[in-house]
Every structure is written in structure tokens, then in C-alpha cells.
Structure 1
Amino acid sequence: MTSLILPNHDGGTRVYTLSASRSWAKPTAPLTSRRAYAAAHVIPETTADNTPGAPARLDWDATLGYRHELWSYGLGVADAMDTAQRGMGLDWAATQQLIKRTGAEAASVVAAGNPSTAGKTVQDLVSCGAGTDQLDLATLPEGTAGLKTVLEAYREQMAVVAEAGPKVILMASRALARVARGPEDYLHVYSTLLAEAEQPVILHWLGTMFDPALAGYWGSDDIAEATATFLSLIRAHAGKVDGVKVSLLDASHETALRAALPDGVRLYTGDDFNYPELIDGDGTRHSDALLGIFAAIYPAASVALQKYDAGEPAQARAILDSTRELGKHIFSAPTFYYKTGIAFLSWLNGQQPGFQMVGGLHSGRSVVHLARTFELADQAGLLRDPALAAFRMSDYLRINGVNA
């Protein structure tokens, strides 16, 4: 068995012995009992600047290869989302390329007719975020002019997604949070966009633990009042809403919202802490999934969904539960740095050449935090080549002064 020395929070070290590798079967038919999108990260060129404010330069082979890996396990991809560092290093120029390239790759998967994606459309395989991050908040006008500017920015991004082929995800907007004066402004902007949408979209409600700039979204800091506004929008435009992705990390709120949604509108859980019970459901309703943690646990997530399809819910739930501690750790406060853990696991598993992130975000977590990420991933059976992962982990620790 492979062993290595890991650091502790108290400054000491311990010997850690890796578990045996685990095999996760890929599906031989499309997943049907739950609809699931893994929110994928992006992989930069290792020789790019990759510092805060620098234009993003992506390693397209590695970035798109990661998406093919997710598709091979029967999962959809949620792209150009916060996991892809929207608003945290991925600029609009690179985002447009990401949307177009991922749409084209999804079309090639549909054309190939693989068993795990048979009968799927491009929109089944990929949904992409449309927001307003091309705007400069420092020059954003106030009042009606500001709302008009936000609308035009959303329209521009929605058009890019629609032309590329993926389903549109209407992301929460920092610009709208800044200029909106109350619930009526949110309803005006979103109602206009939904009326203009050619196909049903996914609405995204992102909590402040993921982005503090979104405080007071839907016109209130009171979650109950904000939810009432959110529901009024959905009920008025139910035919244009495929589903809602809620990232508030509050299972009881999600369960109540799920029960209140109009028929035909899905609840895509964005709760990276409580996803096992929310996906499992309460016997009457369950949540579908649009999750950042699925980008880290996708082999286990796929097998769990295969178990639901096979009528084995207890086994499915047990698999999801086995990944919970890893999810809690990766998404621990400050939660918006969860992308660092996902990229770190991608590197450990050999899916990118270096542990780099656009905007320098690879520095967003401590050495001890990432050592614990390695340990929990091993215990969940999510290091596909433990020897390679241990080799890279040892190199990372040595370079950062542990065991030097």
C-alpha cells in the first residue's frame, strides 16, 4: 500500500496510507431517474499569466477533454457557471469561446450516438450560464438606465448561448443586484427575458456564501420574502422555466420550494452539503441536480444515478452519502473558493498538466486544506490512480515546504 506524510492543522504531520483503488462503472444506457448536470471547471494554459485581472487563456484540449469525461459517465455539463470562475477570473471573451466550443463538442457527442447519451439532445448534454459579467460595475448607470443596461447585457449573452446550442441558464447578476431598487425591478428584468426566450431556461439563485455581491437578491435580504418574489416569477412564466437551480445550502428551504413549484418545473439542487437527501427525495418528490461537487465526484454520482435507475435507491443513497464529507470540505467557508478543490482533484487525477487556475485562484486554499481534500477523495474512492495521485500530492507538499 502507498503511504505518504500529510500535514496537520497544528503544524505536525502524520503518516497516511492510501486505500485500494475503486472502479466505477460507466452507464451503458442514458440515465433517466434523475436529470443531472455537473458544473465543470476550466483549465488554463500552464504558461499563461494566470494572475488576478489577466485575460484568461485556456488549455482547450484539457478543458474540453474534461467535459467529454463527464459525458462518458452519462452526466450533463453545466458550463460557463460560477464553477468555471465566472466573475472570478474567467472574462467574457474566454467565456464566449467556452460556450461555443462546448456546444460544438456536445453536438459531436450527440452525433456519435454513444449508449450513455442515446436519444439525448445538445440541451440535455450541456447548459450554459448567461449573465451580465461583461459590464463594468464602476460605470454602471443607476435607475431605469441601469436596468436597461442589465437587460441588454443579458440579451447579448443569451444570444451567444442560444446560437451555440446549449440550454440557457439565467445566472444571478451582480449588476442587477446593484441597480435594482426592489422586487419589481427583478420581476421586470426576468419577466422580459423569459418572454423573449425561445426555449425554456434554468433560473439560478446563488446565495451570498458563493458570492457576497448578490446580497438582497430578488429584492430582499429576507429569504421568505425573496422566495415569494421568485415563485411569483416562476408561476407567471412556468412554460418558459425548465427548472430552477438553488444554491442557498439550506435543505429545508429547498424542500419547501420544491413542493411549491408549478408542475413541470424542476428543482435542480445546488446544495453541495445536502445533495444526498435532496436527490434521494422524500418519497413524493426529489431534486434533480446541477452541482459543482458533481465535477469532483462524477464517477460515484453516475453510479448512484445508475442505481436509482435500477430500482436500488438504498444503494444509490449510500454511494451519495459516502461522498458527503468530501463535499462539505471542498465547499467549506469561504465557500467561493470551492473551485480550488475541484481543480486540485482534477490535477491529482491526471486530467490537467499542472495545478493552475485562471486568476491565480489555485492559491485560494491552504496546504493543509488540500491535504485533507486528498485524504477524503481517497476514502471516497475518487482517486482513479492512487499511485499517480500520491506522487503528485508528495510533489505538491515538498514544493510547499512540507517534508522538504
Structure 2
Amino acid sequence: MTVLLPGEAGSTRAYRPRSAPAAVGRGGAPLSSRTVFSAAHVVADPYADTSPDSAAAVDWDATLAFRRHLWSHGLGVAEAMDTAQRGMGLDWAGAAELIRRSAAEARAVGGRIACGVGTDQLAPGAHTLDEVRAAYEEQLALVEESGAQAVLMASRALAAAARTPDDYLDVYAHLLRQAAEPVVLHWLGPMFDPALEGYWGSADLDLATDTFLKVIAEHPDKVDGIKVSLLDARREVDLRRRLPHGVRCYTGDDFHYPELIAGDERGFSHALLGIFDPLGPLAAEAVRILDTGDTKGFRELLDPTVELSRHLFQPPTRFYKTGVVLLAWLAGHQEHFTMVGGLQSARSLPHLARAYELADGLGLFPDPALAESRMKSLLTVYGVTQ
């Protein structure tokens, strides 16, 4: 059987799907050499009568089932982060409910969870630094009450309100003093969210890095680690080498993750990645290989996935969630290709078709025949007759 995929200039081309999934384990020993989080997507309720301006309607059963899938492979879940469409369809009320439900589910199954703390309950517009601090405090309290680890996310409101690097230092120092347990600091680059341009007080990344490191140096006991999403491997390695002893670097680089996780003679990165949503079982298998000291085997399994990741995260990078949800549907983790905010329309058919082709080539679909059938149905909706 073949699938007709979009070609050039309105043509189609035949693709022959693989007949069996990749031989990847179905769980196993806990991961030991690296701490690995998958930033997980949310599953929309396709039956809800919503509009792009409506609050998100979430299918809670399917959303929590996907998190159990990730935990079953030994991965941690990074909840209510960018991958969950935080600020792109999922508002604070929805994120708060997501945090409560996922944290309770994590306790029930013994899964590791970290949850995003931001300021997205603030209405659009100008806000004072005091208002930004108060918004962070509200979310931090909820995450800590849920029993989850906190990830202090970059804030659009802080980026708009801060005038100097000292403003960032003051806000983060205030939050870190209050945190009950060590947190993860999150530096999300403007390729993921243009409103975060100039975060840490400067568009010069060297100066911004100095401010970021100063926050950590002044409160090393309150910082478990940093999550860096700048898609710049060299900068991440340089930053990683400057961290105080005991502070982890969690790579958020969806372009260079195999080499950063593998590391070098001077250290390595742990992981908190959106691409580990579709790659969950394969990524966990790769890290188990790395746990044995087999860096070559780890790279041989994970390196081929980079082409898919670079495709999903191509500019505009913030719309990578569309490809992630497509692959979850094709893999059978949900019964539809619908997203909160209607973001299933954010990528073109050729982009989606290429994502299917690359994922199928990697053997990511547990049931390739199901994935083929679903992809054909989507292509038919777009007018590509099979």
C-alpha cells in the first residue's frame, strides 16, 4: 500500500509506509544517568462548541492518559509548559486545572512532575513589577500546594515591565527566597515566543547570560537547574560550564539534544524537551542505553530523530505544537486532530505530510496501519484523493 503525499507545484508523490514499528522497549528500569522530562501537550475536547476566543476545552481523560504513557516509560512530565499551548490557547484557569489534575495523577502512579509557573493570569497590557511578582507568587503557591516541582517560566509581562537587568534580578530573587523547594529556571528564546525578546534585560545574549547566571549565583540552594531553549548548542555548553556545582542544565534545544545530552569530558545536559512528547518511548530507550555507558549506541538511536525535530520546530517555531499533536493522533494517543485555539490549522498540509513521513520512517507509530489510515483521511479532507 502507498500513501499519496503532496508534491511540488500541486502534484502528488507516492510514499510506502513501513509495516512494523521500531523495536523499542515498553518501559524498563528507571533512568539513572540523566533526568529527563517530556513537555507534554494537551488533548482538546473536539465536541466542545468553542471559538478561537473561548477558554480551552480539554479532554481530561485523554490528556491524563498521555501523561501515564510518558511515565510508563520512565520519563518525567513537564506540565503546563509551552508544549501544552500555554499562552497559545491554554489560559491560566485551564493551566491551573491541568496542574492540579496532573499532579494528582503523578502521585497516584509515582511519576515525576514539574509544572510551569508564569504570569499569564495578567490581562494584556502594561503592568507594574509588583503586579508581575504577585502573579508569579499566585502560580508558585498553586504548584507547590499540588506537590509538583516548580519551573519559573519566562514571563511576557516581566519582559514588558522590566527596564534594566536589575528588575529581573529583583523579581527572581524575591521568588527564589519564597520557594519552598529548589526550582528550575526557564529561559525561553524569542524564536519560541517573540514577546520574550531581550529577556534578562538585554538583546545581547552575552549580557543576558551574565544576568541569568547572577540570579543563580546569588541563590544556588534554591535552583535545581536551568532549562535553556535558545537552539544554540555552543551557548548552552558555555552556560552549562559556568553553572555552580550541583545546578543542573536541562537542555531545551530541540535541534541539538543528542549531543547535549551525551555531553563531553566536562559535563552534560539533562533534558526538558517538547520533542520528547512524540519521541517518548524511543527517547527513554536511548537514555537507558546511555545509562550503561554506551554513548555510541545512544547516539545511533537518537541522532536519526533530529531531522524530524528540526522539521517540527522550523520557523515559526512556536507552532511546533501542531506537528506534535498530529503525531499523537497518528500514533493512537487521541481520537482526533483538534487543538485548543484551533491551532491544528497553524501548519500547512505539506508540513504535516512531511512530519508523518519522517515519523513513520523512524518507526514511531505503534500501529503503522492506523497511522496510514488516519493520514489518508486527513489528506482526503484537504482534497488529496487516495
TM-score class normalised by the smaller sequence = over 0.9
Q: In the comparison of the two structures, how many residue pairs are matched?
A: 385
Q: What's the counterpart of residue 361 of structure 2?
A: 379
Residue 10 of structure 2 aligns to a residue whose secondary structure is coil
- CA offsets, 1:203-262, max 9 Å, x none? 000000000000110000000000000001101111100000000000000000000000
Distance in 1 of aligned mates of 2:265 and 2:3: 44
Structure 1 segments of 4+ aligned residues over 6 angstroms from their partners: none
Per the TM alignment, residue 92 of structure 1 is displaced from its structure 2 partner at its CA by 1.1
Mapped partners of 1:261, 1:75: distance in 2: 24
| Partner deviation per Cα, 1:149-207 (whole Å, 9 max, x = no partner) | 00000000001100111100000000000010010000000000001100000000000
Query: Retained in 1: the 8 A contact 2:80–2:116?
Result: yes
The residue number in structure 2 matching 1:288 is: 270
Residue type of the alignment partner of 2:163: R
Alignment of 1:231-310 (within 5 A): 231-310=213-292
Measured after TM superposition, the shift of residue 50 of structure 1 is 4.7
Give the letter for the 1:63 counterpart: T
Q: Would the aligned equivalents of 1:46 and 1:353 in 2 still touch at CA under 8 Å?
A: no
1:159 and 1:9, CA in 2 relative to 1: closer, same or farther beyond 3 A? farther
CA distance in 1, matches of 2:343, 2:54: 12
Partner of 2:51: 51
Q: Are 2:314 and 2:320, in contact at CA under 8 Å, matched by a contact in 1?
A: yes
Give ranges in structure 1 of 5+ residues lacking alignment: 111-121
Looking at structure 2, the residues matched to 312 and 174 of structure 1 have their Cα atoms a distance apart, in angstroms, of 41
Q: Is the 8 A contact 1:51 1:358 kept in 2?
A: no
Partner of 2:325: 343
Matched, 1:109 2:109: yes
Cα distance in 1 for partners of 2:146, 2:359 equals 35
Identify the range of structure 1 (327-336 vs 305-314) with the bigger mean alpha-carbon deviation.
305-314
Relative to structure 1, is the Cα distance of residues 402 and 201 closer, same or farther in structure 2, using a 3 angstrom cutoff?
Answer: same
Aligned-pair CA distance for 1:53? 1.9
Aligned to 1:132: 119
Q: C-alpha distance in 2, partners of 1:323/1:51?
A: 35
CA contact (8 A) 1:246 1:269 kept: yes
Q: Check conservation: 1:56, 1:359, Cα contact below 8 A.
A: yes
Is the contact between residue 130 and residue 154 of structure 1 (CA under 8 Å) also seen in structure 2? Answer: yes
CA separation in 1, counterparts of 2:233 and 2:219? 25
- Further displaced range: 317-326 or 26-35: 26-35
1:88 and 2:88 aligned: yes
Equivalent-residue separation in structure 1 for 2:382 and 2:330 (angstroms)? 16
Partner residue, 2:17: 18
Contact 1:238–1:262 (Cα < 8 Å) also in 2: yes
Question: Which one-letter code corresponds to 2:118 in the other structure?
Answer: G
Letter paired with 1:97: E
1:351-383, Cα deviation, whole Å (9 max, x unpaired): 111100000111110011000000000111111
What do the CA deviations read for 1:64-100 (whole angstroms, capped 9, x no partner)? 0000000011000000001001110001111111000
Contact 2:19 2:369 in 1 (8 A): no
Preserved contact between residue 27 and residue 281 of structure 2 (Cα < 8 Å): no
* 1:168-187 alignment runs, 5 A limit: 168-187=150-169
Aligned equivalents of 1:8 and 1:218: distance in 2?
A: 44
1:327–1:345 distance in 2 versus 1, CA, 3 Å: same
Gaps of 5+ in 2: none
Aligned residue number for residue 352 of structure 1 = 334
- Secondary structure of 1:243's counterpart equals strand
Give the distance between the partners of 2:291 and 2:27, measured in 1 at CA: 10
Q: Which deviates the most, 78-87 or 24-33? A: 24-33
Letter in 2 for 1:181: R
1:369 to 342, 351, 354: 351
Q: Cα offset for 1:19? A: 1.8
Residues 30 and 74 of structure 1 are in contact (CA less than 8 Å); yes or no, is this contact kept in structure 2? yes
- Deviation larger for 3-12 or 182-191: 3-12
Aligned to 1:114: none
What is the rounded CA distance, in whole Å, between the counterparts of 2:243 and 2:77 in structure 1?
24
Q: How does 1:36-47 map to 2 (within 5 A)?
A: 36-47=36-47
> 1:183–1:219: 8 Å Cα contact kept in structure 2?
yes
The TM-score, its normalising length taken from structure 1, stands at 0.94
Q: Distance in 1 between matches of 2:334 and 2:49?
A: 17
Map Cα deviations across residues 122-158 of structure 1 (whole Å, 9 max, x no partner): 6xx10000100000122x33xxxx0000000000000
- Matched with 1:223 is 205
Q: Against the structure 1 CA distance between its residues 293 and 9, is the aligned structure 2 distance closer, same or farther, given a 3 Å change threshold? A: farther
1:26, distance to aligned residue in structure 2 (A): 2.8
C-alpha distance in structure 2 between counterparts of 1:151 and 1:375, whole Å: 45
Q: Give the C-alpha shift of residue 49 in structure 1.
A: 3.6
SS in 1 for 2:255: coil
CA contact (8 A) 2:241 2:266 kept: no
Q: Is the 8 A contact 1:201 1:242 kept in 2?
A: yes
Alignment TM-score, normalising by the size of structure 2: 0.98
